[in-house]
Amino acid sequence: MLEKNIDFQIEKSWGITLKEELNSLYFKEIKQFILQEKNKKNIIYPPNNLIFNAFNQTPFNEVKVVIIGQDPYHGVNQAHGLSFSVLDGNTHPPSLINIYKELESDLTIPYPKSGDLTPWAKQGVLLLNASLTVRQAEANSHQKIGWQKFTDSVIKQLSEKRNDIVFLLWGGFAKKKGAKIDASKHHILTSGHPSPLSANRGFWFGNQHFSKTNKLLKRLGKSEIDWEIK
């Protein structure tokens, strides 16, 4: 049976902030494209109810930190709408392994069992992927369907309407994505990407972004992030 509609649920404050985007022609085209994918029997990740998980876990006015990823994981039952995060029961992907290693080095936090970063999101860390969906086993397959424009608008809204957010830009893609963030209002930390290719060349380990973020938040009078994942 063919699906005739696709409904994304997005948290109220984000729905208000992104109303213009959500009602735009290009966003309707995104929905139409995903609907066509599903009707062709292509498997799309994450499932519909988790496409906007980052927004639903971290309301607009509660965002304290933003971590920009590129693309959802495209393996079975991995992606759940949070950048770099995987559902419990999955092997930790290489980038997440290196994130955890840096966390261990920076804050002496024990390497966790879970790869689910939801506890960060619930504390105000927006785990934003530049593309919000992907076709199974095909990395970056939805990169050009309109998500880039949408997530550019997300970053623009945060930059313009909020103050003193800590943006963590890891790797060239994230730096380019965050190029228009107003550095006079926000705090931008950059480093290489946590992928093995970058990390093993010395561009990731030792960036101390987790402790630096907490020092910034403390200085701003905001509660620090408890980065420990159980």
- Candidate list 71, 116, 152, 182, residue with the active-site label: 71
Name beta bridge partners: 169.
190
CB distance 174 to 68 below 8 Å: yes
Is 226 among the residues known to form the active site? no
State how far the Cα of 145 lies from the Cα of 195, in Å rounded to an integer: 25
How many CB atoms within 10 Å of residue 70? 20
DSSP-derived 3-state class of residue 123: coil
State how far the Cα of 227 lies from the Cα of 230, in Å rounded to an integer: 10
DSSP letter at 1 equals: -
State how far the Cα of 48 lies from the Cα of 164, in Å rounded to an integer: 32
State how far the Cα of 148 lies from the Cα of 143, in Å rounded to an integer: 7
Name beta bridge partners: 65.
125, 166
Tokens of 161: 């309407």
Tokens of 11: 């948290």
Q: Which residues are catalytic?
A: 71
